[in-house]
Amino acid sequence: MSKAASRIADSSLADEGRQRLEWTRTRMPILRSLKKTLEEERPFDEMKIAICLHVEPKTAVWLEALRAGGAEIFITGSPGTTDDATAAFLAEMSGVNVFAKREETFDDHIEYARSILEFDPDLISDNGADLHSLIHSDFKHLKTKLIGATEETTSGGYRLREEIESDSFPTIVINDSRAKRIIENRYGVGQSVVDSIMRSTNALIGGLRAAVIGYGYCGRGVALCLKNLGARVTVVDIDPLTRLDALLEGFNVAEKAEAISGADLVITVTGRDNTLQTEDFERLSDGAIVANAGHFEFEIDVDGLRNQARSESRLSEDIEKFSLASSKEIFLLGKGRPVNLSAGEGNPIEVMDLGLALQTLSFRFLVENGSSLRNGPQNVPDEVERMVSELAFEAWK
Ligand SMILES: NC(=O)c1ccc[n+]([C@@H]2O[C@H](COP(=O)([O-])OP(=O)(O)OC[C@H]3O[C@@H](n4cnc5c(N)ncnc54)[C@H](O)[C@@H]3O)[C@@H](O)[C@H]2O)c1
């Protein structure tokens, strides 16, 4: 098995990465048991898997399981979410090739995504549909070669259905499973987003006036977590039934302009670009903290904020201050990238154990049934979802 040249920030961090994984493995019992099964069955022997997923310790534990199943792996991450120590550890692993740096730009990200597709994978795991988009433009030959694909997140699911023309291979959208939406998006994202805001700001949450824009699975988790810590939460959503749901859950519900003008903390989590636009920034309260929890860094128009700011400065690795023409000061966390990854350690380990088990068994399902499946985006097979939910229940009860 040839080893391609990895593109990472600093290979001297490999030992640090190794230590981080030691802790992470102890909290991932589902993948531990699947790894044993994969070692015996070797379902991915001789296969190349290209993966776009946050390069961090939980993902690395998943790659160990896929390697045990026989796969050769090519992985890239997302801008601002790579743990460079994990990337260095992975670059030393036999059969794993890494293209990821924490400081990469969106253009670097696309270049790295191209690099992993150049290895002609048999399976892909996408996150935000960037690999799918490239396959449709510049890697068309893969459309007939691929056994199938998975897509991790809500935003990728939207893109596959709304923007990308029909596929000639099946894509299992992990996010569409109830298990992922309820366990990861609601409980995992809620906790980790609030945790990253607390760590990066050291601010008291109790009493804060918070606006959560987008009350889907992730937004609901974020709003509930803030409420449980004593914040006064206002929810904004464009969908009337979702607004009603938030109201009955006990939240204030308002239009965006009203919600943000009184808020100390504003969090976007819609999965849609420009949720917070140029004209919104002057409406924010003086001293407002702003963060994004959605997948793409374009949910807050950070370029628009930079352009209209009179001055900007960095107060810490995770906090940037923008002074607006009105003299208001706005504090942006994690550069507008998903805050739980850019200013925290990502979702709690256990929920990713469950999510990555869905990925693993979906890959195995594709290998066993790929040719009989219809092409295009589709839900996680019931049998996979049931098996993973049972494994999680047994492990956590
Ligand atoms: N940070 C993470 O770890 C993480 C994990 C999972 C998903 N995500 C991402 O979080 C985002 C949200 O995911 P989800 O599963 O909650 O999606 P969802 O579809 O369940 O919810 C999105 C909500 O936003 C609302 N919305 C859309 N546009 C809006 C607008 N302009 N203003 C107000 N509300 C609007 C929708 O009506 C919907 O209720 C996606 O980008 C997803 O990929 C992030």
CATH number of residue 207's parent domain: 3.40.50.720
Q: Tell me how long the chain is.
A: 397
Residues 6 or more apart whose CB falls under 8 angstroms from that of 205 comprise: 194, 197, 198, 226, 229, 230, 231
Q: Which atom of ligand 1 is nearest to the CA of 154?
A: 43
* Nearest by Cα to 90 from 152, 35, 25, 21: 21
d(CA 337, CA 139) in angstroms, rounded, equals 28
Indicate if 142 and 227 belong to the same structural domain. no
Indicate if 163 and 58 belong to the same structural domain. yes
Indicate if 48 and 176 belong to the same structural domain. yes
Distance in Å, CA 378 to ligand 1 centroid: 19
pLDDT for res 263? 96
* Residue 3 within a domain: no
For residue 225, report the phi and psi dihedrals to the nearest 5 degrees.
-65, -45
Indicate if 287 and 246 belong to the same structural domain. yes
* Residue 242 within a domain: yes
Indicate if 47 and 127 belong to the same structural domain. yes
Q: Nearest C-alpha to atom 39 of ligand 1 is from which residue?
A: 216
Q: Which atom of ligand 1 is nearest to the CA of 181?
A: 15
d(CA 347, CA 316) in angstroms, rounded, equals 22
* Nearest by Cα to 294 from 200, 214, 184, 177: 214
d(CA 121, CA 20) in angstroms, rounded, equals 29
Distance in Å, CA 189 to ligand 1 centroid: 11
- Our mutation pick for probing the ligand 1 site, out of 175, 191, 222, 237, counting the most ligand atoms within 8 A of Cβ, is 237
* Nearest by Cα to 120 from 97, 94, 154: 97
Distance in Å, CA 215 to ligand 1 centroid: 7
pLDDT for res 370? 85
Angle, CA 76 vertex, CA 154 and CA 127 arms, to 5°: 10
d(CA 299, CA 302) in angstroms, rounded, equals 8
Indicate if 18 and 157 belong to the same structural domain. yes
Distance in Å, CA 143 to ligand 1 centroid: 29
Cβ 251 under 6 angstroms from ligand 1: no
Indicate if 133 and 208 belong to the same structural domain. no
* Residue 6 within a domain: no
Q: Nearest C-alpha to atom 33 of ligand 1 is from which residue?
A: 237
Q: Nearest C-alpha to atom 18 of ligand 1 is from which residue?
A: 216
**Is residue 19 within 8 Å of 86, Cβ to Cβ?**
no
- Count structural domains, the chain: 2
Helices (H) and strands (E) in the chain, counts: 18, 15
Distance in Å, CA 171 to ligand 1 centroid: 20
Q: Which residues of the chain have pLDDT under 70?
A: 1-4, 165-166
Strand order in the sheet with 319-323: 252-253, 232-236, 209-213, 265-268, 289-292, 329-333, 319-323, 311-314
* Residue 95 within a domain: yes
* Nearest by Cα to 315 from 343, 293, 294: 343
Indicate if 64 and 30 belong to the same structural domain. yes
Distance in Å, CA 133 to ligand 1 centroid: 20
Cβ 223 under 6 angstroms from ligand 1: no
DSSP conformational letter for 28 = -
DSSP conformational letter for 326 = T
- The CATH number linked to 95 is 3.40.50.1480
Distance in Å, CA 338 to ligand 1 centroid: 12
SS3 sequence, 170-237? EEEEHHHCHHHHHHHHHHHHHHHHHHHHHHHHCCCCCCCEEEEECCCHHHHHHHHHHHHCCCEEEEEC
**Is residue 59 within 8 Å of 355, Cβ to Cβ?**
no
Domain of residue 243: give its range.
Answer: 184-342
CA 205, 210, 215, 218 torsion-angle sign: negative
Cβ 239 under 6 angstroms from ligand 1: yes
d(CA 226, CA 289) in angstroms, rounded, equals 14
Q: Which atom of ligand 1 is nearest to the CA of 215?
A: 39
- Among residues 342, 360, 382, the one where a domain terminates is 342
Per the structure block, which two tokens stand in for 137? Answer: 């433009």
Cβ 391 under 6 angstroms from ligand 1: no
In the three-class reduction of DSSP (H, G, I as helix; E, B as strand; rest coil), residue 74 is classed as strand
Indicate if 33 and 133 belong to the same structural domain. yes
d(CA 86, CA 14) in angstroms, rounded, equals 7
Residues 6 or more apart whose CB falls under 8 angstroms from that of 287 comprise: 264, 328, 329, 330, 331
* Residue 1 within a domain: no
Per the structure block, which two tokens stand in for 322? Answer: 């923008």
Indicate if 272 and 364 belong to the same structural domain. no
Looking from the CA of 104 toward its CB, the CA atoms found within 13 Å total 26
* Nearest by Cα to 61 from 100, 37, 31: 31
Indicate if 332 and 362 belong to the same structural domain. no
Indicate if 359 and 311 belong to the same structural domain. no
DSSP conformational letter for 328 = -
Distance in Å, CA 105 to ligand 1 centroid: 23
* Residue 254 within a domain: yes
Cβ 187 under 6 angstroms from ligand 1: no
Q: Nearest C-alpha to atom 17 of ligand 1 is from which residue?
A: 216
Q: Which residues of 94-153 form beta strands (DSSP E)? A: 96-99, 123-126, 148-151
Q: How many CB atoms lie within 10 A of CB 321?
A: 15
pLDDT for res 240? 98
Distance in Å, CA 65 to ligand 1 centroid: 30
* Residue 188 within a domain: yes
Cβ 185 under 6 angstroms from ligand 1: yes
Per the structure block, which two tokens stand in for 16? Answer: 């640090």
